[in-house]
Amino acid sequence: MRSHIAITRGVSASIARCELTHLERTPIDLELARAQHLEYERTLGRLGCDVRRLPTSEDWPDGVFVEDAAVVLDEVAVVTRPGAASRRGETAAVADVLSTYRRLAYIVAPGTLDGGDVLTVGRSIFVGLSSRTNSEGIEQMRRAVEPFGYTVSTATVEGCLHLKSAATAVDDATLLVNRRWIVDREFGSLELVDVDPDEPMAANVARVGPNLLYPSAFPRTRERLERRGFAPAIVDVSELAKAEGAVTCCSLILFAAN
Ligand code: CIR
């Protein structure tokens, strides 16, 4: 068995009706989006994951963005209550597959929380207070994970959709960030690598075990990562980016060993 499982969901035929917050709606080429998503899954496979793809549904235009439906730690998976009402039904199938691998906890009303707002770095969990995640959701997250030795801190998010639009981890000591959308001192002693100023959307990099996965759209920021010795696998996710998605949001990566 491979060391990691990646849970994904195919691109819905209704993705043109996706939620949009900071982007203008532009046409999404469904065939191309699906081809890019397939290549994304194949790359996860090459990076050592068993990919478990959930069935698509026209009921969930944003269903491909499975990251928002759960937060998976080694000890527990927290099934979210997404901030956008249109996305709440996405969690059932994700919870179902996760129950094979983890005990489950749930965010419940009036809490809201999107997985895209949850950045885990070792035993530190930063949760963005955003248009999708509220204080009650963060408090419930804290209660679910603190018994396992995690600390949960609230992070300011302004100008972008999710915390992980602005900050993701490249390793357990380093974040890739767009400082304009976060408050940098909230991340304590972690080292911050800035995106290239011409690439504001470039702060989202996915960790896949010891590897990184990164979009082809941000060559300048990629060069910054490479100069520091990181060598991410590259995927083109241009069509999913039109739906305000990036690389972390299209999968839930978990250790298979638990
Ligand atoms: C939404 O607005 O919910 C979707 N169109 C995009 C979600 C992207 N998710 C993520 O970055 N975690």
Active site residue 250: no
Name the residue ranges covered by the structural domains of the chain.
Answer: 4-210+219-255
Options 4, 18, 37, 162, the catalytic residue: 162
Q: Which atom of ligand 1 is nearest to the CA of 87?
A: 3
Report the nearest atom of ligand 1 relative to the CA of 20: 2
In this prediction, residue 1 carries a pLDDT of 60
Percent of the chain with pLDDT over 90: 98
Rounded to the nearest 5 percent, the helix, strand and coil shares of the chain are 30, 25, 40
Note if 249 is an active site residue.
yes
Give 12 Cα–ligand 1 centroid separation in angstroms. 14
Compute the distance between CA of residue 193 and CA of residue 139 in angstroms, rounded to an integer.
29
- In angstroms, rounded to a whole number, what is the distance separating the alpha carbons of residues 66 and 100? 17
pLDDT for 37: 98
Q: Which of 18, 49, 249, 250 is catalytic?
A: 249
Place of tokens 């209704």: 14
Regions of the chain where pLDDT drops below 50: 258
4-210+219-255: CATH number: 3.75.10.10
Predicted confidence (pLDDT) per residue in 21-72, tens digit: 999 999 999 999 999 999 999 999 999 999 999 999 999 999 999 999 999 9
